[in-house]
Amino acid sequence: ENFSVDPGSMDLILCPFIFEHVARPWRAIRTLADSLRPGGFVIWAAPMFQRYHGSPHDYYRYTPNGVKALAEEAGLEVAKIYAPGDLSLVNGVLMGMLLPYWSTEQVLRESELVERDTSPRYPLNVFALLRKPGSRPDPW
């Protein structure tokens, strides 16, 4: 609520694993969008499957389609969504088998889409590259 950045002043905002702790994500994503210059980017990440970790608060989990809806509501374009994970990885992590148990390939692999699905079914986390429409002025 106390985000004091001048509107239109940022070219890039990094927002990794914050939005699960934000009580009003629609308001927060609009604030990020307003802070971007035209053509600016938000690199965003949040968990889909993860244990509750209420420090300080833990409100939400995000699907790839949820991230897309959140971004589009704020007027941001979705340049890329990356949602790696599969059922065995998600089950293992939820049972306490954290990253040392898994190969890098398995952790980074996206599952194949199942018929009529628009995103993977078991992403451990969701990553997004979001862009504010418009062209960036030439800095030179």
Residue type, 9: S
**Model pLDDT, residue 51:** 81
Q: Which of 10-24, 82-96, 109-123 has the lowest mean pLDDT?
A: 109-123
- The answer to whether 66 and 100 have CB atoms below 8 angstroms apart is no
What does the alpha-carbon distance between residue 124 and residue 23 come to, in Å, rounded to a whole number? 21
**Model pLDDT, residue 66:** 95
What would the mean pLDDT of 24-29 be, rounded to a whole number? 96
Among residues 101, 120, 99, 114, the alpha carbon closest in space to that of 50 is found at: 99
Question: Is 140 a residue whose pLDDT tops 80?
Answer: no
Question: Is 109 a residue whose pLDDT tops 70?
Answer: yes
16 beta partners:
45
Question: Is 1 a residue whose pLDDT tops 70?
Answer: no
Question: Residue 66 has which token pair?
Answer: 């949820």
